[in-house]
Amino acid sequence: MHIKKLSLLSALTLTASVNAASYTLLPTKDALDNTMLGTDITPGNGWAINGNASFTDLGGGVANLSTTGTSQSTLQGENATAPGATTAWSGTVTPNTFTFEISLKVNDLTNGFKVWAGTGDRIYMLDIYNDKITTTNSGGGLKDVAMTLNDGAFHTFRLVADNTNPGAHVWVDGVHVGDEVGGVFNSGTNDGRFILGDTTSGTFGNDIDVDIAYISYDGGAFAPIPEPSTSALLGLGGIALIMRRRKA
C-alpha cells in the first residue's frame, strides 16, 4: 500500500518546466528519496508538535496544520522516522546542499508560514503568505515575490541549496522564481533543525491554516523536472523545426 502512495507522490512531483539557463548546475529527479504524506507527520513518527499547533487527519493522506496566537507553534522533524523517510533530515543533508519540497493548500497565511531548514552551519528560510513568498537573497536583503496562493488549490514549494552554485533557490509549482532567493543565515552554531510553522513570539505565524499533502527531502540538489505534456510539446516543436529546415 505504501509503495502505491509513493508512486502517486512521484507523479505529483512532475512539475512545470523551469528556466534551465538560470540554474544550470542542478540535475533533475522525479521523486526525492524521503517522501512523507501529510498524515505521516505525527509525534509517533519522530515529529514534535510544539506550542498550540493542531494537526488533523483530513483523509487521503492530507493533514491540516492550524495554529493560533504567538506562542511559536510548530512542527519539528529533523529526526523524522515516518513511512517514506528512509533517513532522518539530520542524517541526510550535507551542510548547504539539500532539496526540500512541500505541497500546501493555503487556507489562511495572512501572517506567514516559515520553512526553516538547518543544515549544520547554515539556516535556510522561506516564508509563505496568502499573496506572496518572502525570501532573503544572498546579499541579506528581503525579497517579496507576489503570487496568489490562497486560491483553494495545492501548491508545491521547492527550496534547494547547492554548494557548487552558492545560495538557495526556490521553485513554486515548478517555476523558478529567481536566482538569489532563499534565506541563508550563518547560524553561529550547529543548527540542524527542520521546522514548519510559527517560529517567532511576534505577529509572524499567527493563525496558520494550511493543508499538507506531502513533504519530501533529499541530501542532493535537484530541480523539478518538466511535466510530460511540457516535454511532449518541446519534442513536437523540435520535430516541426527539423521538418521546416528540410523543406527549406
* DSSP run (H or E) holding 5: helix 2-12
Return the CATH number at 228: 2.60.120.200
Q: How many domains does the chain have?
A: 1
CA 177 to the chain's CA centroid: 13
Task: Give the position of cell 539539500.
Answer: 98
Amino acid identity for residue 164 in this structure = T
* Residues sharing a CB contact under 8 Å with residue 99, sequence separation 6 or more, in sequence order: 29, 32, 158, 159, 160, 216, 217, 218, 220, 221, 222
How far is 145 from 147, CA to CA, in rounded Å? Answer: 7
Q: What pLDDT sits at residue 46?
A: 84
Residue 170 in contact with residue 133, Cβ under 8 Å?
yes
Each of the 248 residues of the chain gets a pLDDT tens digit; together they read 333 333 334 333 333 333 333 444 577 887 788 889 999 988 888 888 888 888 899 999 999 999 988 788 998 888 877 888 888 888 888 777 889 999 999 999 999 999 988 887 778 888 999 999 987 655 566 788 999 999 999 999 998 887 766 667 888 998 888 655 445 565 556 788 889 999 888 888 899 999 999 999 998 888 887 655 444 444 444 444 444 444 55
Find the domain containing 72 and state its range: 2-247
* Residues sharing a CB contact under 8 Å with residue 203, sequence separation 6 or more, in sequence order: 70, 111
Give me the helices (H) in 29-143, please: 89-92
Output helix, strand, coil percentages for the chain, rounded to the nearest 5: 20, 40, 40
Q: What pLDDT sits at residue 137?
A: 56
How far is 17 from 72, CA to CA, in rounded Å? Answer: 36
Q: What pLDDT sits at residue 5?
A: 39
Task: Give the position of cell 518541446.
Answer: 234
